[in-house]
Amino acid sequence: MNTLLFINFLKSTDAFKYLDIKAIGAIIDHGQLINCSDGDVILTQGKFGDGLYILVEGKMAVTIRALGKEIVTLATLSSGQFFGEVNLLQNTPCTATVKSLGKSTYFLLKKSSFDMFYVGFPEIRYQISQALIENVIQRQRIMRKEINSLSKMVLRKKVDLHLYTIRSPKIKLTLTTSEKIERFAYLETIPFFNLFNSLEFHQFIKQATVVEFTNKFTLIKQNLLNQSCYFILSGAVTVGVLSKQGYLKVAVLGPNKLICSTSLLDQQNELFVYKTAGPAILLEITVDKLEHIKREHKLLWYKIHDTMTQYLVSLQNKLNTQIIRMASENY
């Protein structure tokens, strides 16, 4: 394939849909074309992959081993489709095995190159992440529908221990920027803020409001747009979906985690409901503050975006677990 054709081909893929021709050129410089024979295994479920893979020619089978099932073929990939994105965005083992069907060729952008783009091409890295997370969220929408459908047949027992009395639902603490920076200076050393430099960290804190929430406060509502994101300082937050059986918990998050709505990244209705599990203290960053960061502090926005995509990708496994449990357990 000649270079111009290849550039246009990559530009037409979902993974690189937001990149211009110059950016595609940079991608090609940092990636490699690899030929496969029939039966070659490119990704192995449970093991780490090498980066982002774009199928150029040929076909590949995506299979999974799941609890209680024999090996299942999930999909057959054709030219232009990508895989390896979960491993790339979250640095966790692959969730499926990908094997070549006949001869094939794929383009590989290695994770190490993708990570280096932070330094040389942060905007390219951001645009690729955005394209990939839209795809991940789209899959999560399908999974949520499946959970809704399964929940009609399942009646899971629930017990409320009523461990907390409900007080004032929400108390905003009025702190100046310098008071916040002094109070939360310790956060700068935690792994979550590893990639933020001091200025970026201070800007993040400046845009945040400290809020104390009571138990079972709904922070983010399902099916709405444009809701705040939160960083958990103390306490816990549950993530769930509203179903025929009421609120179905998908995950529980504790301190030093950022939670955000899917609508912030794909501009569609929010997929999940977030509620506090016990009294909690959070940093709240409203949508207008996030817009301000996007406009005025691009590099900080890219880093926040990164943490958001990592978080949303981590929900994939949790949704999968919910589906497997509902399909196989008795209530």
Partner 1 sequence: MCRVLSYLGQPILLDDLLYKPNNSLITQSYDPKFMTHMLNLAGFGFIAWDYDSFQSEIPFLYRTHSLPFYDENLKNIASKVRANCIIAHTRGVEYSEKNIVSNQNVHPFKFSNTSIAFAHNGTLVGFEEMRLDILCHIKKEYQKLIRGTTDTESMYALFLSQLDTAKDTISIDDVFAALIETLKILDKLRKKHHISISSPLNFFISNSEFIVATRFVFDYGRYPSSTYSSPHMGYQSMWYTYGEQYGLYNDRYEMKTSDKMKSIIISSEPLTEDSTTWIELPEYSFIGATLVNEQLVIRSMDILV
Q: Quick one: 95 or 222, whose CB is closer to partner 1?
A: 95
| Dist CA 281 CA 205 (whole Å) | 14
For the CB of residue 200, give the shortest distance to partner 1 in the complex, in Å. 21
**Which residues touch 128 (CB under 8 Å, ≥6 apart)?**
15, 16, 18, 19, 52, 114, 117
Is 299 an interacting residue with respect to partner 1 (CB under 8 A)? no
What is the DSSP track for 19-75? --HHHHHHHHHHEEEEEE-TT-EEE-TTS---EEEEEEEEEEEEEE--TTS--EEEE
For the CB of residue 70, give the shortest distance to partner 1 in the complex, in Å. 5
Choice from 161, 168, 194, 295 touching partner 1 (CB under 8 A): 161
Q: Quick one: 29 or 70, whose CB is closer to partner 1?
A: 70
| Dist CA 77 CA 59 (whole Å) | 6
| Dist CA 45 CA 99 (whole Å) | 11
**Which residues touch 322 (CB under 8 Å, ≥6 apart)?**
147, 248, 250
Q: Quick one: 152 or 298, whose CB is closer to partner 1?
A: 152
Question: What Cα–Cα distance (Å) separates residue 158 from each residue in 8, 151, 254, 331?
Answer: 54, 14, 22, 11
- Per DSSP, what are the bridge partners of residue 78? none
What is the DSSP track for 115-156? HHHHHH-HHHHHHHHHHHHHHHHHHHHHHHHHHHHHHTT---
Is 325 an interacting residue with respect to partner 1 (CB under 8 A)? yes
Query: What would the x/- binding string for partner 1 be over residues 186 to 215, using CB under 8 A?
Result: x---x------------------------x
Question: Which residue stretch of 19-27, 32-40, 172-180, 243-251 sits at the interface with partner 1 (rule: CB under 8 A)?
Answer: 243-251
For the CB of residue 281, give the shortest distance to partner 1 in the complex, in Å. 8
What tokens does 10 get?
Answer: 């990559």
For the CB of residue 164, give the shortest distance to partner 1 in the complex, in Å. 7
Site for partner 1 in 38-57 (CB under 8 A): 45-47
Asked if 228 contacts 189 with a C-beta cutoff of 8 angstroms, the reply is no
Q: Quick one: 3 or 168, whose CB is closer to partner 1?
A: 168
For the CB of residue 138, give the shortest distance to partner 1 in the complex, in Å. 23
| Dist CA 253 CA 309 (whole Å) | 16
Which of the 8 DSSP states describes residue 186? G
Site for partner 1 in 109-138 (CB under 8 A): none
Is 35 an interacting residue with respect to partner 1 (CB under 8 A)? no
# residues contacting partner 1 (CB under 8 A): 52
Is 66 an interacting residue with respect to partner 1 (CB under 8 A)? yes
Q: Quick one: 46 or 120, whose CB is closer to partner 1?
A: 46
What tokens does 5 get?
Answer: 């054709």
Choice from 69, 152, 167, 244 touching partner 1 (CB under 8 A): 69
Is 80 an interacting residue with respect to partner 1 (CB under 8 A)? no
Interface residues toward partner 1, by CB under 8 A: 45-47, 64-70, 93, 95, 156-161, 163-164, 183, 186, 190, 215, 232-236, 238, 249-252, 254-256, 277-280, 317-318, 320-322, 324-325, 328-331
